Structures are given as structure tokens and as C-alpha cells.
Structure 1
Amino acid sequence: MTMRYSFMAVLLGTAAISPVAHAMPADEPAAPVADPAVEAEDAQSGGIVVTARRRAENVQDVPVAISVVDSATLDAQGTYNISNLTKLQPTLQFYSQNPRNTFINIRGIGAPFGLTNDGFEQGVGIYIDDVYYNRIASATLDFVDVDQIVTLRGPQGTLYGKNTTAGAINITTRAPSFELEGKAEVSLGNLNFKQGKASISGPLTDNLAARVSVTSTDRRGTIYNTQTGQYIQSQDSIGLRSSLLYKPSDSFALTLSGDWNLQDPICCAFQFGGYGPTQRAANRQYPALVAAQQAQFPGLLPANADPYDRTTDVDAQLRARNEHGGLSARAVWNLDDRNTVTSITAWRYWDWKPANDRDYTIYPVYTKVENPTRQNQYTQEFRFNHEGEGFNLAVGLFGFHQKIRTSGNQSTGLAASKWLLNPTNALSNNPAVLNNVVAINDIRLDNTSVAAFAKLNWNLTDRFVVSPGIRLNYDKKDGLYDSVVTGTASNGTRQVVSADPTSASYNDPWTAAQRGVQASQNYAPQVSAWNLSYDLNLRYEVTNDINAYATYARSFKTAGLNLNGVPADSSGAAIPLYFQIKPEKVDHFEIGIKTQFWDRRATFNLTGFYTRIKDFQASVSNGQGTTVRGYLANADRVSSKGIEADFSIRPSDRFSAYVSGAYTDAKFDRFCDAPPPPELAGGTALPGVAGDKCAYVGTPSAPGTPGGASPPVYDASGAPLPGVSKWAFSWGGEVNQPSTLFGEDGQFYLGYDASYRSRWSSNPSPSIYTWVDGYSLHNFRAGFRTGKFDVFGWVRNAFDQNYIDLYLAGTGGNTGLIAAQVGDPRTYGGTIKFNF
């Protein structure tokens, strides 16, 4: 706590130097070496300069599939966080049950779907001003004074690091400027939407400049909780960013930055999404369980039967307080015209304080589900860039250390006995048996990583460039999972609920019933390994405006640890086989062409890709006991292949348009021991075959047969990966007309943006109950702008499309209850922006 508030004092002290700001990013030496001739040519032709390969280049010259969104586009379309960014980029997928349970995928790969675990890492790297954000939860902030967002698709392990098997998102904020400038923006809308942004930047001395930026967003929730009388799924966030640029000469620049972000909405819960019969006994499925609760809670019935009613009735406390921030120092030293040294030092923290309702019902089954988490992260990167005759080279070192401490607390309530115990057990009629069964979890991870990397761009001819790269990583993880479960024994005393048959309370009937729901477990897994990533890019400049390229990349995602509990043996001990998850091994192939024509007023880019992953880190479940315990395991092989196309046109200053599309075929090539989907789970388990993880004896019952026979594993080979649509598109345009308003010369304009995605699976193993139907969303804006101000109205999801963000199956013990997360309804409002 002391460190955090000391940091806040430093940040606010920096903010007090100069009022709140906006800036241009050109006052800092390029990091690494830039080619002024290239930048001048790009500026004249309307080209976009990016540093995707740690050097300044025209985006059309980079032999990688890239999407670039600038600040003007983000502001115009109301894209103020990564979640909204998916509407602009068809191959980017984002799912969030709450900030901790957040997943970002590219082309269908990146993170295990539907499971949070401190011991695994994402496959999409998030970077803000060259600082790596290891936890996606700490990157769910609202964008603060962003200049550009670059999404690199496909493995980026050479330059961006170990856990970028699917790609990287590189966010650049505006740098301090040596000219006074500022910006302020206010937006108001329905659902009591209020958003304010402000920034100011300017010189403090001849060689010192400052920038301070702030953003705040508040919106009433979209779901009404009939139990508490509150609207949930609200938005409530504030972000502050401050930076100082010290530039004593043209060859050296030091930027000190600090940021603090707080999200504290009334969030997060799902709604009733439907009932899908499982193979549990009929008296243990959702309709029978609701009926059984009437004996204890007469007249208390679930109120909502349609997710689009936008109501819920969860009874437990909800909270999603997400605080994060950090400090960084970025030094860039141009030794001469050919050599540049860059150092980036950063510390970040993340403080997560949640409260959830795990059963998603009106009944007090689970009364408290909390996993407060604290993270401290330290990173250091050194880079050296050299511009030679016919080649350029980037080499570097990277160090990373992370500490995560999670202190979980879960307790059951008066409805738990009837909901979680088999009705054939007489104890299911006694609410006291499972009431106040408490699990206190101590989860720890110490994660250290070091790496050395190099990337060469070698011009074999004036038009042919060969770019090999290599990165060597060492990773070490030390974990702890210690769950102590206590409950009331039949004699009225509190006892540890142990899975050890030698424990004193093991044979107590109440403790035995509690053990079937959850038992204590303790283990301390470790893993360490060396891994090598390498790639080869080939680029051929067919003409000045046509570039063809091909890429092969070998990448990996770090080995993981299961830190949410694992299956136990007959003595109740955690099985070491499940402690570790093997690293993913990735082979990636890509070919593409980037073109500009019509005097560079039109751009068309086309990419074909094929990614093959061995030992894919996937979500599975063991089906033990009353509840389904999820953990991570390795699927043998998965693949993602497809085609992406981007087209944009600007025939004149009066009109512009774009369309992007992707076909993605992402599937399990071989995963014969996947978890059965809900309709095949919960019944009498068929016996497995010793020595063959994929074989079992007998024939499963038809899907959704109550009391049927369930397979111990499910062959998902050939099934689609969760979370990805085969088809996805985004398109839009803007038209404007010069005019005068209130004596100010400017433009009236009308803009339109839309997105579409086809249906997709929302369960780790495809289920007949959790396919999300395809949908399209349409946004409009219209206004008047000048060089000084911009006033416009907007409407998002203009046709009030009903759509689902996420389905969850197996909630509350595989009862057949399907929970749904519903997307935002139509929203509308207005925005006023001023700048100087």
C-alpha cells in the first residue's frame, strides 16, 4: 500500500507541473534509427510510419500483416478501449467476464478459452510505449491520449518476446511537445453516459517538456438486477497519464512516464441464457433444482427467461475494482547517424478486488466468490540499432520479473445443500450441511524471464530484402496453490475438509458431503526451460507501390502452471502429472501482397496464413465431485489458416472508405481427450482404457439424456476452436463538405462504420447449447469540425441489434443452466472537442 500511494504522489506531483495535455510525438529521437528521407516521402504521400519492427518504416513496406488505427479514428468511432477495437479489426477477438477473466485472441488463438489461471500467459502481447503488460487485466484500461495502435498478426516472438504466438498490440501515446498545445473533449449520451478527456503539453525549459492527460468514463449499467434494484455491467473508470521529456541535445532524449488507472463498476454477472439438458440425473438438473428450492424459499423463483429482457436476479455481492499503474523511463541515444541505443525500464502494479455470484441464480448457493489479486512487474530492455550499407540490424536484451499473489475466498450458503448434493442423500434436505463451507485460497506465482534477440534486414538487391531473426528465452516459474476448506461437522464443530483418508474428520458424514463439493489441496509446482524463437521474412518490391512478402516463424508460448487446483488421486493428494502445462510450439507460414494505386489514393493488401501449434494450452475439466473443476492441459495439435484482405480508398479530400475482411478456419487438429460438452457430461462415467487417454469402454447415451452414460473424454479433433468466427468483416466511410458555421470555416461530415461476424462456439468443446449466432453492428456519426473544434452526434448499434457476447455452460455444477452475457443495446449521444 505504501509503494502504491508513494507512486500516486509522484504521479500527481508530475501532473502538477503543467495542466492537462495533448501532444505530437515528433520531439523524441526515433527509436530506433529512422530514415528522414523515408519519413518525408511517407508524409508527402499520406503514408503511415510505424515502428512495428523497432525501427521507423512505412507500414506498406513491413512484411507483416498489420492493422493501424490512429487517434482521429479512435475518437471518431468511440473506440476507447481494446474491447471496442475488435469492431475495427476482423481477426481480433476479445472476451471478458470481468477484467481478470479477460482473453484476447488473434485468428482464433492466443489464450485458453473461459478459464482464468495465474500460472499461464496470453499469446497476444500488449505493449504500451514499448512496455510489456503481462496480464491482460492490467491492459483493460481506457485509452489515455493514444497516438496510434498497431496490431501485428501472426507470431512476433523475435522482436516482441516469448508470448506473442498469435500477435502483438503495440499502443503508442502522444509524447511531450516543445510547443504549447492542448485538447479537451466531453461526451454525453443515453444510459447516463458521461466521458471527459483532456490533455495539455508544452515546454517547461528549453530542453524539458511535459504532458499530462486524463480521461474519465461513467455509464449506467445495461442489466437490471431485480434482487438489488441496481443496474449492473456499468462503466466507471478514470485514467491519468503524465510524462516528462528531457532533451538536452538532438542525439539524446529521456522520457519519464507514469500512469494510474482505476475501474470500479457495478459488475459483473451473467443472465439466464437458457437450459440445455445434460446427462446428470433429472432431479439434479436446473428445472428440478429450482422446484426443490421452493421447500426452503417458497415463491422465490427466477424472474427472467429471456436474456434480452436485460434483467438478472443474482443475490451475491458484485464488485470489479481494477486498479493498475506504473512508472517507466525510456532513454534513446543516437550515437551517430547509424547507431542508436535504447533503454526501457518499467515497473507496473495491478490490484484486483472482485466479488462474484458463481451460481448465477437468485438462490444463496455461493454467497461469496472472491479472488483478490496483487501483481508487481518489473521489466528492462536494451536495444542497439545499426544502419549499415545495404542492411540494418537490431539486437537486444530483455529481462522480466513478476510476482502475483491471489487470496481467494469462496463460501456457500443456505441453498447449497439442495443445489449441490444428490437428492438421494438425506443430507441434501439439511441446509446446515453446506452452509458456510469456506475455502481460503493462497495462490502465488514468481515468474522470471530473460532473453537475447537479434533481427537483420539485408538488402540483397534494391528490391529484395531478407530478414532473419532469432530470440533465446529462459523462463522460470515457482508457484503455490494452498486451498484450506473448512465446514461444520455433524457434531457442530468446525473441521478442515480434507481429502486425506487418514484425517480425523474424514468419515464424518457432513464432512464427506462437503468433500464431494470441494476439498483442501496443497501443492507447489515449478517449471523452468530454455526456448528458441526464430523467423525469416522475405520482401520483394515488385514496383514502388507493390510489395510481396513471405514469412516463416517458429515461436513458442511459455510453459505454464496449474494454479486453480488439479485432479486428486484416491488418497486425496494432488496428482503431479497435472501441475505443469507444456509450452506451445508454433510453426507459422504467411504470404501476402501490399499494394497502392491510383496515385496512392487506394490501398489493397491481401494475406494468406497457416499456423500450426503443437501442445496447445487448452481448458479442460475433470468432472470430479459435484462441481466441475477446470484446469489447463495440452491439446495435441491445433491449426489456424485463412485469408485476410484490407481495402481503403480516398479519391478526394471529400470522401474516404474502407473494408476489411477475414476468413479464418481455426480448429483442433487432434484433441481426443477434450472435456465433454454439457450435453454429454454429468452422467455415469464410462470406464477408460488403461494406457490410452482417448479410449473408453461402452457407448455414450444420446446428448442430453438425463441419467445417461457419459464419456470420460470427448474427441474434439476437427472441431472449431472457441471464440472465432469463420467470417468477419468491418467497413465504413466518411463524406464531408466544406462550409462555414458561426463564422468558422470547416466541414460538415457524415460517417458510417459497421462490423459483422458469423456464428462461433462459446464453449471449450463445441456444444449444441452455446453457439453464438452471427450478427452485424452499425454506427453513425455526423457533425461539423474546424481546426479548433469538432461537434458531432453519434449512434452506436444503431439498429438495436440483440446479440450475445459470451455463453457459459456448466455453471453451478453442470446443472444445464446456460448463462449469457448480452452485448450493449443501441447507444447515442454527442461529443464536443476543442484543441489549441
Structure 2
Amino acid sequence: MRKSFLLATAGLAAIASPAIAQDTDTPTDVAENASTSDNVIVVVAQGREQRLQDVPIAVSAVNAESLQNSGANDIRQLNQLAPSLLVSSTGNEANGSARIRGIGTVGDNPGLESSVAVFIDGVYRSRSGAGLNELGPVERVEVLRGPQGTLFGRNASAGLINIVTQGPTFDMEGYAAATYGNFDTIRLEGGLNFPVSNTVAARIDGVYLERDGFYTDRVNGGTVNDQDRYLLRGQLLWEATPDLSFRLIGDYSNKDEECCAAVFVTPEIAPGATLNAALDPFAGPAGSGSLVSTQNPIIPVLLALGQDPRAFTDDPYDRNIYPTAGRSYAGETEDWGISLQADWDFGGAQLTSITAYREYDNNQASDTDYTGVDILFRAPGDDAGARRFETFSQELRLQGEAFDGVLDWLVGAYYANEDLTVTDNLQFGSQYGAFAPCRIILAVNPALVSPGGQGCLSPTGRAILEGTAPGTMPAFGAATPAILGGLDILSQVNSVGSNGTRYMQNSENFAFFTHNIIHITDNLDLTIGARYTNETKTLDIDFNNTNGFCPTQRALQTPLLATPLAGLAGGLISLTCQGNSSTELNALNITDERNEEEFTGTIVLSYRPVDDLLLYASYSRGYKAGGFNLDRSALTGAFYSPADITGQTNLSVIVGPAVLNDPANLQFDEETVDAFEIGAKYTGRDFTISAAAFRQEFSNFQLNTFNGTVFLVQNINSCGTDLGGADRDTGGLTGACAPDDVEPGVISQGVEVEATLNPTDYLAFNAGFTYVDTSYENDLIGRDNGTPLDPALRLLPGDQLSNAPDLVVTGAMSWTPPIGNSGLSGLFYLNTRMTSGYNTGSDLLFGKEQESFIVVNGRIGIRGPDNRWSLEVWAQNLFDEDYTQVAFNTPFIAPQQTYSAFLAEPRTYGVTVRTRF
């Protein structure tokens, strides 16, 4: 049934569908060479203006009209238009993550750069989340698939999103638009373009948006995941001479919003989770769909400590949340910058210079445990999980022709200096000391659990463990006082943690690149590109922790680490010192530096057997820099294996003692990829089609995952020798590989097809199809020195990557018929995206599965003569499809049995009025 459904959907989308746009403002010289085709799409994907169908790489292009019809205001909404692209966000919109062909970087840890680079007007944005702001008027968007580095300033290992905004012209014109929709959405947009003189033109654009949140806070009142944002952008164009021009752009955007709430995962979200009985989070004697079960004993603890039971019984797609009273999701984002682009044509060559400075500043408060029990939180303020990027960049490109047009050459240089400051105030809540000891007692004897009691013990329970109850002996022998004392210390860990800890990272990189097209014959081209990149990163950490209970606990439990009670003692230390919140770190001076240099490049052979058909084959090598895990937990070794404490298994296993002062534990290595691709592009008068088959092999793949307590950053490789299942067990010391036997750990391979059809003057269809197998290899290891895989990732070997559906079909239809002879015209627009099932959690645990789903957007309207005005009615997610962006381990709750989820947006609808003058 599933295959039939997918095939049927693919067929429908192929019949009725546009997402890749025709650009009606194509340059004259390109349009004149467009043969007999009216289906001209112009891009600069190779640093030169070319028809899309003449570019021998896989690229999707979307123009202004398609973006407007689809309602795309930020890069997340490009999902509907580009089948190989998936953009999602998690606990903070600054954490936005873009994936191409199933490859991307989870954005929760700012120390990791994006596998998919985002450029706006030629300027690199430090992380993908910067593209989740309002974009304003956009001329076109290009999505380049596969490694990039020989054409743009910043290199990328998986792909690139290039956004070109509307620039100034020498015509006096303006526009305005107003939207009202459900959730009390108000969106106002307007702009003015005007000549200042015969050589200077200016443009100013602004966007304002406010909207109520999708989640209802049943504890504190109000809504969460609201929108309150604006964008201002001003531009000047100076055509100093016919051969020299300058474009100055300044922009400022602000978001003052409450984001991002989460709900508990229930069978309504992840019905597939019940297929694995051993890890079934919904099984239990309380009945189908109950989270209150013997398999999940932490739930009664939460309920006893004040959790509203409706959090477990409500339909999660009703979007009711039950957080801790008084906790907030308030946050603010400021993003501004200025850039100057100079273009100089001095005869035999053209020089382009792009100089830019940008600042991006975000802070986000949160009820970080997402429960009604006060376990973990960030208080509102400038230190609330704050990240600040200050980036200067300079790009130079020189290009021209040689040997009577036989060689089309380009050489370039790039320099960037970026300061990243991360400041945090993550603290244990007022009930952490009541909650955390219960995890210990559940592992010792669940019958003794008494939430609210000292150390989660009733007086009777304490007497049983002490051996003072009739007929009992001390439960832990001579170590009993130390264990019970440890529980008492743990019970006092409340309202302490980080109080402005700062991570300061500087990244300085420079690169030289070249991209050359050799016209061997009139129909045969050879493209050769190369890049040298040099990157230096330095890190300084200034700890400001307030948890003084950790040193006391460590002193009390350390003697037990060499005894059979090591697991229990390690658990007490770990839960007391969780997240390296100890005051012990305040006196440390953590500094480190890493240096990298890498040669990458591409070679493409393209052949045109007839004028309308292009065939090509390519090899590319891509690179993404390594860096530092900006989660202080990574400084230390683990105190206990993941099976301990959370799963009530043996407590005698201990991975290793803490290593407090080793910044090397924070480092992760650079990611590289070898990519192979063959493709074909056909251009007819009313029909175009592009197809590509590819294989990408990633070494040192950078994985960021949340294991329920900390963010793990792990390089992923594979071993050429069978590890005998050692990469799938819970032992952190098994599964090593000889360094000379290390192989790529992630393979992405598949096919992509995109097509356009224009059967009449007013009717256009587009279709996109992507089938990709993006999977981890078997016999996985960590870094390329052969170290074992972290046991928290033991489900990865041989499985599909998270957020990497194997099949995506997109389609759109646009019909703009004239209405009589009045000059009026109609608009009927639909687009759709069908996505097969996938796991949304980067550790691939059960309960994070998302089943296949379809999202449809629609717009109908009437437009005046020459599109001077329009009235449109629209809907996003027309059929109110329920699906999840990302599911994750609920912080500090039993990670294999309790998950939370960030839901995708529900149906939105409204009316928009536009005018041009």
C-alpha cells in the first residue's frame, strides 16, 4: 500500500506541478542565445550568467513570482519548491538546519558550521539559522546541490543556498502589500525604488510581521511560538562609469518572540515506535497509548512532583503545553550588516569585489526540560543561551576569456575573520534536587521511590537502606553512609548552574580558488576548479558556575570509584555535577587552537550532442572545517555508561573518571566528501527536464546529537574490518579500528529529476522528484584515528540518517488566465510536497519516527492591469497535515522511553492585498 501511495502521488505531481521559475528579466545576451526556447531560466551558479539548462551541475532555481505565490518568506519555506532540500528548526530558531540530499548539520551547537552554506547577496551567513529571518523582496534563489568551493567565497560540503535580493534600478517605482490571517497574523511590506541622479539609484524595503503562537500555554497563559519581527534594507547603486558600478547594501532585522515549545511524543506522533517492543515508550498495564507504565517509571515521579497529567493524555497536535509555572520562552534576535559590491569591466577581464561586515546576536530563554517540574531552565536575558557572531569578509573574483574564447577563466580569493561569543545561564531548577535522586533510587529499588522525600526516600525507605529497619542490613555495606550522604547532597542541587559562562571562539580563514571552462569543441567542455583553504580557530572559555555541591560530592564518592559500587557512585557524581556546572571549573584557564588546510576541487566533462541536450559527468571534493564543541560537558569523560541509572541495569559499569582540564575533548575534525555525479538537461520550447544521479562519500561526518543530558559532537567514519557488532553495544571502549583501515562513514546516493511544462501562455507546471539513500555504513567508528563510536549512537550503523527521507516529490501549478478584455487576470496556484517516512532524531531512537506525509499550499486571486494591484486568498498546509520537525530525548528523563517533539506549523490562511506604482 505504501509503494502504491508513493507512486500515485509522484504521478499526480508530475502531471500538475511549478517550483522552478522562469525568469522574465533575463539578460539580453543570454536570452538571444536561448535557441528557440521560451523556457529561459538564468542563474549565476558558476559565477557567470548562464541559462540554467547550460550549467553542468545540479541546481534548482526559484524566481520572485514563484516565491511570492508559494508564500516563502524565509528559507524554511523553500522546502515546497526544491525536492532535495529540507530546512527545519528546533529549540531556537537560530538553530535552523538546512539539508541537501539528506546531508546537513544539526544547528543546536553553534560550534558547528553548516554543511549547507547560505549566501545572501554574495555574503556568507555564519549559520543556516540566519536565513530564518524575513528575506524581503527576492529576485531569485539558487539551490546548488553537492560540494561547493570553487565559485563562492565560503566552501560547503553538502550544498549551497544562494539568495539574490531585488536591487535598485533607475525607474521610479514602489510597492506595498498587506496581509491578515488566522492566529491574528498581520504582515505589512513595502518599498520604494527611485533614481537619485543619472548614475545613482536607491531602494528601500521594509517588512513587519506579527502573529500569535501556535502553542497554548495552559499554565502561564498566552501562546508560544509567536512571531514579532521586522526587516529594513536600504541599497544604493552607483554606476560610476559604463564599466564600473558599486552596490551598497545595509540591512537590519529584529525578532522579539517566544520560541520554541515542545510536546511529549505519544502514539499520535510516532505510531511506528510501538513496532519495537523492547524500546516501546507507550507499552504498559495502563493501556494502549499510556505513558504511565512500568516500562517508564519516571512518569509517576513527574506526576508526583506536580506535572499536569494532561501533558501525557492530550492530543499533542492540539498544541497545549504544560511547562513550569513562571518559566519563559522569550528571546530576541538582532541581525544586521553592510556590504559593498564593486564590479569593474576593464576590457579583457571583469573584477568583482564583495566587502562585508555582519553581526548576528541571539538569546533565548526556555523551560529547558519541557515539563511542569522545574528541572532545568534558562532565565530571560542577554545571557540566555546567547550567541553572537561578528564577521568580516572580503571576496575577490577576476574572470574573463582567453585564446579567442576557448578558455572561460575565473580566479578568486576569500578572507573571513569571525568572532563567536556564546554566553549561557543554564541552571538547575528549584525541583532538580527532588527529581534527580529519584533516578538513582529507581535504579536501586523502584519500590523505595518517594518523590518529595529527602533523597527521594521516605523515612521507611531510608531505614531499609540504612539497615536500621527490622530484619535489614545496610544496603551498601560500609559504603552505605557515603551513598545516602550522596543522595542528600544531590537533593540540595537547586537553582545553581551557569551564571554567564562565556565561550569565545575566533575563526580566521583564507582561500584561493579557480574555476575554468575549456571549450574543447563547440559541443564539448571541460571544467576544472580548485581551492586551497587555510583555517585557524582559537577558543577561550571563562567559566562562571555556581554549583558548589559538585566538589563535595566528588570528594565523597571518589573512593567508591574503585569498588563494585563505582556505577552508583559515578551516577551520584554525574547527576550532581551534570553539565560541568561545578565551581571547580571557575579557576581553570581553558584555551586551545586548531589549524587546518585543505585542497579541494572539481572536474566536469559536459557534452551537447544536439543544441537542446546537455550531458555531463563530474567529480568534486568538498570540505567543511572542524572546530570545538561549545558544550562544556564535553570537557569530561563520562561517569557512567548510558545504560546505567536510566535503564536500571547493572551499576558496576563505569566508563571512566572525569578529565576536567582537557580542551582536546572539545575538538572535532574537518568533514570531507568525495562526490560523483552524472546528469542530463533537455530544453524544448515548452518543456525542460533535468536529471542527475549521484554518489557522495563523507569522511569524518560531523554529527551533533542530544543524548538527554548533553550535546555529543562526534565524527563518524567506518572500519573496513568487521567489528562483530562492537559498534552496536553499550560499551564505550569497544569497537576500535586500525587507522589505516578507516573508510567513509556516510554515503548519500540517489537520483533527482526536475521538469517544467508550459503548454499555453498562461499555464505552467513544474515537478521535482528525489530518491536518495543517505545512510551510515556498517561497522561505524568515531574519529579517523579509529576510536570507537559513542555508545549513545549504537543505532546508527547501517541505518538512514535523521531527517533524510528516501523519497520526496514536489509539484506546482500556476494558471494566470486573462479575464475578458478588461486587462484583469486571475491567479490559481497550488504546490505540494510529498515526503516518505524518516527518523527525526539524530540518534535514531525509536519514538522519533515520522511517517510519510503531504503538505499542500494554495493561492487564488484576481490581478489588475499590468499587475498593478491584486487581491489574493491563500493557505499554507491547506489540509492541516500534522507532522514533526524534530523529536528529541526529553532532558533528564529516561532517554530511551520518553521523548519530546518540536511540531511543524499547522494550517494557516489569510488574505493579501498588493499594489504597485
TM-score bin, normalised by smaller chain: 0.7 to 0.9
Partner of 1:91: 84
Residue identity opposite 2:400 in structure 1: H
Shift of 1:420: 2.2
CA distance in 1, matches of 2:670, 2:433: 40
Contact 2:547 2:577 in 1 (8 A): no
Partner of 1:464: 524
Partner of 1:701: none
Q: Does 1:545 align with 2:612?
A: yes
Contact 1:286 1:817 in 2 (8 A): no
Cα deviation digits, residues 514-541 of structure 1 (max 9, x gap): 2256443553232101111110011111
Partner of 2:851: 773
Shift of 1:483: 3.8
Contact 1:791 1:832 in 2 (8 A): yes
Cα deviation digits, residues 290-323 of structure 1 (max 9, x gap): 4235555497763653211211112221023111
CA distance in 1, matches of 2:359, 2:180: 32
Q: Does 1:439 align with 2:471?
A: no
Contact 2:432 2:491 in 1 (8 A): no
Partner of 1:329: 340
Q: Does 1:627 align with 2:709?
A: yes
Structure having the higher helix fraction is 2
3-state SS, counterpart of residue 546 of structure 2: strand
Shift of 1:498: 8.8
3-state SS, counterpart of residue 823 of structure 2: strand
Shift of 1:163: 3.7
CA distance in 2, matches of 1:487, 1:213: 49
Cα deviation digits, residues 396-437 of structure 1 (max 9, x gap): 110001001111011122321232233528524679612112
3-state SS, counterpart of residue 301 of structure 2: helix
Q: Return closer, same or farther for 1:519/1:202 CA change in 2, 3 Å cut-off.
A: closer
Partner of 1:222: 214
Shift of 1:144: 1.3
Contact 2:117 2:127 in 1 (8 A): no
3-state SS, counterpart of residue 302 of structure 1: helix
Please give the TM-score of this superposition, normalised by the length of structure 2.
0.78
3-state SS, counterpart of residue 54 of structure 1: coil
Q: Does 1:753 align with 2:831?
A: yes
Shift of 1:746: 2.0
- When structure 1 is superposed on structure 2, of 78-87 and 515-524 the one drifting more is 515-524
1:525 equivalent among 589, 592, 598: 592
CA distance in 2, matches of 1:712, 1:646: 38
Contact 2:716 2:780 in 1 (8 A): no
Partner of 2:112: 120
Shift of 1:499: 6.1
Residue identity opposite 2:857 in structure 1: N
Cα deviation digits, residues 604-638 of structure 1 (max 9, x gap): 111111101111111357x7xx9345233333411
Contact 1:487 1:497 in 2 (8 A): no
Please give the TM-score of this superposition, normalised by the length of structure 1.
0.85
Residue identity opposite 2:455 in structure 1: L
- When structure 1 is superposed on structure 2, of 198-207 and 414-423 the one drifting more is 414-423
Q: Return closer, same or farther for 1:383/1:499 CA change in 2, 3 Å cut-off.
A: farther
3-state SS, counterpart of residue 642 of structure 1: strand
3-state SS, counterpart of residue 487 of structure 1: coil
Partner of 1:366: 376
1:75 equivalent among 68, 85, 88: 68
Unpaired segments of 5 or more residues in structure 2?
1-22, 268-272, 285-291, 445-453, 458-487, 562-568, 638-656, 719-744
CA distance in 2, matches of 1:608, 1:752: 28
Q: Return closer, same or farther for 1:524/1:835 CA change in 2, 3 Å cut-off.
A: same
Residue identity opposite 1:385 in structure 2: Q
3-state SS, counterpart of residue 268 of structure 1: coil
Contact 1:468 1:535 in 2 (8 A): yes
Shift of 1:353: 1.4
CA distance in 1, matches of 2:843, 2:694: 24
Q: CA RMSD in A?
A: 3.2
2:146 equivalent among 133, 154, 159: 154
Q: Does 1:242 align with 2:234?
A: yes
Partner of 1:313: 322
Matches within 5 A, 1:699-778: 714=794, 716-740=796-820, 744-778=822-856
3-state SS, counterpart of residue 85 of structure 1: helix
Partner of 1:614: 699
CA distance in 2, matches of 1:567, 1:145: 45
Partner of 1:55: 48
Contact 1:501 1:572 in 2 (8 A): no
Q: Return closer, same or farther for 1:297/1:589 CA change in 2, 3 Å cut-off.
A: closer
Unpaired segments of 5 or more residues in structure 1?
1-23, 27-33, 490-494, 676-690, 697-710
Q: Does 1:415 align with 2:431?
A: yes
Q: Return closer, same or farther for 1:693/1:256 CA change in 2, 3 Å cut-off.
A: closer
Structure having the higher strand fraction is 1
3-state SS, counterpart of residue 84 of structure 1: helix
2:512 equivalent among 452, 463, 473: 452
Q: Does 1:811 align with 2:891?
A: yes
Residue identity opposite 2:100 in structure 1: I
Q: Does 1:100 align with 2:94?
A: yes
Contact 1:672 1:715 in 2 (8 A): no
Shift of 1:145: 1.4
Contact 1:414 1:432 in 2 (8 A): no
Contact 1:500 1:571 in 2 (8 A): no
Contact 2:116 2:161 in 1 (8 A): yes
Matches within 5 A, 1:266-305: 266-274=258-266, 288-293=297-302, 295-297=304-306, 302=311, 304-305=313-314
Contact 2:782 2:789 in 1 (8 A): no
Contact 2:692 2:753 in 1 (8 A): yes
Partner of 2:650: none
Partner of 1:585: 672
3-state SS, counterpart of residue 104 of structure 2: coil
Cα deviation digits, residues 650-671 of structure 1 (max 9, x gap): 0111211111110010001145
3-state SS, counterpart of residue 435 of structure 2: helix
Residue identity opposite 1:329 in structure 2: L
Partner of 1:175: 167
1:66 equivalent among 53, 59, 69: 59
Shift of 1:481: 3.6
Q: Return closer, same or farther for 1:559/1:152 CA change in 2, 3 Å cut-off.
A: same
Contact 1:627 1:814 in 2 (8 A): no
Q: Return closer, same or farther for 1:713/1:335 CA change in 2, 3 Å cut-off.
A: closer
3-state SS, counterpart of residue 811 of structure 1: coil
3-state SS, counterpart of residue 425 of structure 2: strand
Residue identity opposite 1:726 in structure 2: D
Contact 1:617 1:635 in 2 (8 A): no
3-state SS, counterpart of residue 358 of structure 1: coil
Cα deviation digits, residues 577-609 of structure 1 (max 9, x gap): 533211112100111110022xx1111111111
3-state SS, counterpart of residue 219 of structure 2: coil
Partner of 1:427: 455
CA distance in 2, matches of 1:187, 1:695: 51
Q: Return closer, same or farther for 1:497/1:746 CA change in 2, 3 Å cut-off.
A: farther
Q: Does 1:205 align with 2:197?
A: yes
Partner of 1:401: 417
Residue identity opposite 2:507 in structure 1: N
Partner of 2:270: none
